[in-house]
Structure 1
Amino acid sequence: MVRSKPVIFLGPSLSREKARKILDADYRLPAKKGDILQLILKEVDIVGLVDGYFLQDYPPTPIEVYNLVRKRNVKVFGSSSLGALRAVELGKYGMIGIGKIFRLFRDGILESDDEVAVTFTDYTNYKSEALIDIRYNLFLAQKYKIIDNMTRRSILRISKQTYFPYRTYEDILDKCKSKYPEINSQLESFREYILNNKKSLKERDAVRLLKHIKNIYVP
């Protein structure tokens, strides 16, 4: 009997094109309330929860994931975004967290959903930036001496003050330029750095989740 493909809920954290090069799976849109509950009636062995809705729709509830893990004995993995949050909540019931972001929440270093929340559309290229990814790029920029600690803290402060659907580098750096004109030179250096070297911790963790599932999945 051929096993069903892993079901992966994936959105802005990693492109489908990149994901399919790693794992042959049943890729779904970011999870919303009810999506995981429906899988209880399906022949599913492995589920990967990466992305889910925060603003445009209700996210899947913890009880949905709990029922899938406990009642159907499905292996459920989470990373990067909503998946990391649910894995922290449900780790004691069998959900498995993957990646750095999961560990940061599990260990209490990060606490707010705001760290991973983004907004996106299916019909435009608009996507806000996750606070955790902004932190990551600021860390790297300081490490490579693109910016100093004061500039890093100033950009992070404005990022935190910006409501997550509007959290883009362009908007954040424009606000910083108005509020902190004395660091304009470093702001422009960081802007150029982001254009050419932007990294994503959410994407990196999503890749880790897919590679982990690939290692255990036997068709």
Structure 2
Amino acid sequence: MNTFVFLGPSLPRQEAQALLAAHYQPPAGQGDVLSLLQTRSPDAIVIIDLDPNRFTLWAVELIHALEIGVRVYGAGAGALLAAELQQFGASGVGQTFSSVMAGQLLDDDFVYCAHHPEQDGFARLSEPMVNLQETLKQTETLSPDERTLILAAAQKLPFRNRTLERVVVASKEAGLARQTAKGLALQLRQGYVDVMANDARALLVRVAQEQPVKGEAKSHLERQTLHFCPDMYARVQRRGAEVSFTEIAAHAVLNDERFWWLSLSAFNQAAVAAMAEHFKMSVTEAEQSVERTRFLSERGLSEAKLSDWLRDNDMRQDEFDALMQQMTLCRKMQAWFLSAKPETRGVRELMNQFRITGLYAELADATAREKRLTQEAEAQASAQHKISFTDVGKALLSHFQKLGRPLTVNPKQWLESCGMPGASLAVALYRAGVRQAAELGRRSKDEGNVENKPKKKGG
């Protein structure tokens, strides 16, 4: 069970750990859940305290968590979110949650309080209204009118100033009798009811009993957050600093000359995948498995090393699986495109991409040099390089093996996806073979000359 609990002043950390063994985080703020989903792959997220000093946690962050199979629980300050998201599968516990569901508590001011920083244990500096409300309710020495007056006076105070002493002062100013106000702070402290702590304990006990594990994610088309982009707000730790994916992209735009062709490739892939979905194109598990094998092989990764790669690239397993599905869709669309124009295949598209990326002149000149070398060395080339179209696959395997880049798929699949007519590849392979033979012969000749060169006599 990989559970993360956002906990602050509601309950001491040591007591909480005794109730539920989990990963405890400071009170939650905007983007915290998205960052957690991105970097820690939780089974469950428990919201007890929210950080009043930051932008509030978005409900859509928790909806996104629920839609990818993460269990979400709320109590205390998290009770309002749990109630709001119950229809999406969130679970709420405690008195505060019950009050919200009954329509008796709708204001998050009732669950906020000022508190010390984490190094001081998040100790409270002011009182949550829910605690004051229940404490006053159970104080028998007060009349109903006095309780109403004190509650109204307390509610007018900013939550940061809502100490018991200031509540008494505000109540006196609002008309509470001096005799009643005398000793009221001590009386309230002695009969204090900590609803927030009780709710936190109840929730931690329930999560410990349920031992939640991550469930199955909804498909993209089933999600309420279909148009929500969590990558805009998720944050990751890199070299001692917390950065968002948006910040990484903005840095690349301004500082990396590779950005524009990378963005073109990225958006083209997304567009092709969207088109494939529009045409109801699907992929099989076998096709995705081939794409996965190709991806790992091209990067020199084993299945055992994939987790390291995911961590280095701040990527979740479910995101990687979605990427493999997208790449498989794109390759399937590519195969459809190439089969629709068998005469020219993808030659024009490749030339344009070479030009866009600034590689055209380099590749064209290298092709001309190889052709010229082939013409000059053809007579001396070994017969083993005079291949026919029927053994292109065998020649491909040999060619890439010599380059130290073995094919990651079988030759037939490679030929179907490269966008080149087979006959043209046969010619190119023949030239590559002649060039390799010529280079080998030249190296052998140079080595022989060195061996036969007379040695200089010593001075």
- Is the TM value for this pair above 0.5? yes
* 2:154–2:171 CA contact under 8 A, matched in 1: no
Could you tell me whether the CA contact under 8 Å between 2:43 and 2:212 is conserved in 1? no
Distance 2:131 2:108 in 1: 13
Query: C-alpha separation between the residues in 2 aligned to 1:18 and 1:146?
Result: 32
Question: Which structure is richer in relative contact order (CA contacts within 8 A, separation 6 or more)?
Answer: 1
Q: How does 1:128-167 map to 2 (within 5 A)?
A: 128-141=126-139, 145-167=140-162
Residue 70 of structure 2 is matched in structure 1 by 74
- 2: CA distance, partners of 1:102 / 1:126: 21
Q: Normalized against structure 1, the TM-score is what? A: 0.88
Which residue identity is paired with 1:80? Answer: G
8 A contact 1:147–1:190 mirrored in 2: no
Give, in whole Å, the separation in 2 of the partners of 1:148 and 1:162. 22
**Judging changes above 3 Å, is the alpha-carbon distance between structure 1 residues 137 and 162 closer, same or farther for their aligned structure 2 residues?**
same
Larger Rg: 2
Unaligned runs of 5+ in 1: none
Instruction: Give the number of equivalent residue pairs.
Output: 209
The SS at the match of 1:206 is helix
Q: How far did 1:128 drift? A: 1.5
Q: Distance in 1 between matches of 2:25 and 2:96?
A: 22
Q: Does 1:127 align with 2:122?
A: no
In the alignment, structure 1 residue 64 sits paired with structure 2 residue 58: no
In structure 2, do the counterparts of structure 1 residues 109 and 218 end up closer, same or farther at CA, with 3 Å as the change threshold?
A: closer
Match of residue 190 from structure 1: 184
Where 2:5 maps in the other structure, the secondary structure is strand
Question: What residue in structure 1 maps to residue 4 of structure 2?
Answer: 7
1:151–1:187 CA contact under 8 A, matched in 2: no
Q: 2:49: which partner in 1?
A: 51
Could you tell me which of 96, 100, 116 is aligned with 2:95?
Answer: 100
Cα displacement (A) at 1:58: 1.1
| C-alpha distance in 2 between matches for 1:216 and 1:157 | 40
What does the per-residue CA deviation read over 1:93-115, in whole Å, with 9 as the maximum and x for residues that have no partner? 11111111111112211121221
> 1:117 Cα deviation (Å)?
1.9
2:200 aligned to which of 183, 196, 206:
206
- 1:95 and 1:196 map into 2 onto residues whose CA distance is 35
**Could you tell me how far apart the structure 2 residues matched to 1:218 and 1:59 are?**
26
Please state how far the C-alpha of 1:23 moved relative to its aligned partner. Answer: 1.3
Change (3 A) 1:130 1:75: same
The structural deviation recorded for 1:126 is 5.0
Q: Distance in 2 between matches of 1:175 and 1:104?
A: 26
Find the residue that maps to 1:111 and give its secondary structure. Answer: coil
Instruction: Pick the aligned partner of 1:109 from 104, 108, 114.
Output: 104
> Secondary structure of the equivalent of 2:76?
coil
Q: 1:164/1:218 Cα in 2 relative to 1: closer, same or farther (>3 Å)? A: closer
Shift in Å, 1:135: 0.6
In structure 1, how many angstroms separate the alpha carbons of the residues matched to 2:7 and 2:212?
21
CA distance in 2, matches of 1:177, 1:80: 29
Aligned alpha-carbon RMSD (Å): 1.8
TM-score normalized by the length of structure 2: 0.43
Q: Which has the higher helix share?
A: 2
Q: Supply the distance in 2 between the matched residues of 1:86 and 1:95 (Cα, whole angstroms).
A: 8
C-alpha separation in 2, matches of 1:179 and 1:140? 21
The runs of at least 4 consecutive aligned structure 1 residues that moved more than 4 Å come to: 123-126
